[in-house]
Amino acid sequence: MTGGGAKIDSGDLDLLAQRLSQSVRGRVERSLPLARHTTYKLGGAAELYLEPADETDLVRAAEVVEESGVPRDRLPVLTLGRGSNIVISDDGWPGLVIRLGAGFSSIEGVAGDRGVIAAGASTTLPLLANWAARRSLTGLEWGVGVPGSVGGAVRMNAGAHGRDMAAALVEASVFDFNAGVVAKRPQRDLGLAYRTSNLIETEIVTRARLRLAPDREPSIRARMEAYRKHRAETQPGALQNAGSTFKNPEGDSAGRLVEAAGLKGFTVGAARVSELHANFFMAGEGATAQDVHDLVHEVQARVLAATGIELQPEVRFAGRFDQAFAGERR
């Protein structure tokens, strides 16, 4: 997610912003700061920002971009959900950021099929888990402490406590921003595996259809409460971090490896490895996105040197980052 390549001219962006503002009902902004839209609360601005009002609006926006003749490689697209698994560069995003807003937040049962529900991509997982619990439907309790959106959760195949999106997902509605086409993609075509999918940056999940199972509400609530309690005791909460930094390697835990390498509390700039959970990396007062980037890479290098295991980041980095860090900045 570098958004690299030749930069779009600022005058072209102004013109495109103007055309979008005239054609779509949703919000269009130039140079919108993105930090407030991420749990890390870090990073720069989106050159161009779009919050489509609904799916028709999103389709219209893609048409406007197509008609503008701006080369696609000069307008990198980034879809932002709740920003709970992403670090945006201090330089911001050099193209178009699309964030689905309230028009994509409906949740409804599917007529004639008691366990099947349809959720808009901007709905949050805790909200959806509670909605399902109220209707005595099980299968999403794990999402109660995961502060992401349904769209982001499909993209990442989010999961916890032995369950994930793949287990409940029937199909996702995916809008291909470059092709301008919406398609219903069945779960098996999304390449969902441990914290990954085959969705690319310009493919936007707008809706998900999920199959849940009936259960007693008190049992569902008890599981949710146990998960919540476990998180509160073992994790630092959703402030200034993005959950697990690295994926767990086969048969081991990333947090255990980071801790075993003696890196709990290790800092780069104002970013530090959490004392409570070594796979959570916190942004302290004055931290930059580059600090978080450098901390992730320094920890990765040290764990590799200590154990021979190369941890793979689960957190995504968007935009330009300096790769030259050599470990001297404390």
Ligand X SMILES: Cc1cc2nc3c(=O)[nH]c(=O)nc-3n(C[C@H](O)[C@H](O)[C@H](O)COP(=O)(O)OP(=O)(O)OC[C@H]3O[C@@H](n4cnc5c(N)ncnc54)[C@H](O)[C@@H]3O)c2cc1C
Tell me the C-alpha distance between 25 and 14, whole Å.
Answer: 18
Is 67 in the active site? no
Is 244 in the active site? yes
Task: Determine which one of 195, 223, 231, 272 is catalytic.
Answer: 195
Distance set, CA 213 to CA 111, 143, 159 (Å): 15, 15, 17
Task: Determine which one of 84, 149, 244, 274 is catalytic.
Answer: 244
What is the smallest separation between the CB atom of 156 and ligand X, expressed in angstroms?
4
Is 298 in the active site? no
- Tell me the two tokens of residue 1: 């997610």
* Choice between 15 and 102, CB closer to ligand X: 102
**Adjacent-strand bridge partners of 196:** 193
**Adjacent-strand bridge partners of 107:** 119
* Choice between 162 and 286, CB closer to ligand X: 162
Q: Are strands 271-273 and 281-283 parallel, antiparallel or unpaired?
A: antiparallel
* Positions that interact with ligand X (CB under 6 A): 39, 78-86, 100, 121, 146-149, 151-153, 155-156, 158-160, 195, 199, 204-205, 238, 241-243, 316
Neighbours of 108 (CB within 10 A): 10
Q: Are strands 203-211 and 169-176 parallel, antiparallel or unpaired?
A: antiparallel
b/e for 159-168, b at 16 or more Cβ within 10 A?
A: bbeebbbbbb
What is the smallest separation between the CB atom of 227 and ligand X, expressed in angstroms?
9
- Tell me the two tokens of residue 41: 């609360």
What is the smallest separation between the CB atom of 68 and ligand X, expressed in angstroms?
22
Torsion of CA 212, 215, 217, 221, to 10 degrees: -70
What is the smallest separation between the CB atom of 220 and ligand X, expressed in angstroms?
18
Please report, as a single letter, which amino acid is at residue 269.
G
**Adjacent-strand bridge partners of 78:** 97
* Choice between 18 and 56, CB closer to ligand X: 56
* Choice between 19 and 163, CB closer to ligand X: 163
What is the smallest separation between the CB atom of 18 and ligand X, expressed in angstroms?
26
What is the smallest separation between the CB atom of 11 and ligand X, expressed in angstroms?
27
Please compute, for residue 200, the number of CA atoms within 13 A of its CA located in the half-sphere on the CB side. Answer: 8
Task: Determine which one of 51, 171, 203, 314 is catalytic.
Answer: 314
* Choice between 90 and 203, CB closer to ligand X: 203
Torsional class of 221: left (φ above 0), alpha (ψ -120 to 50), beta (otherwise): alpha
* Choice between 43 and 147, CB closer to ligand X: 147
Residues designated as active site: 195, 244, 314
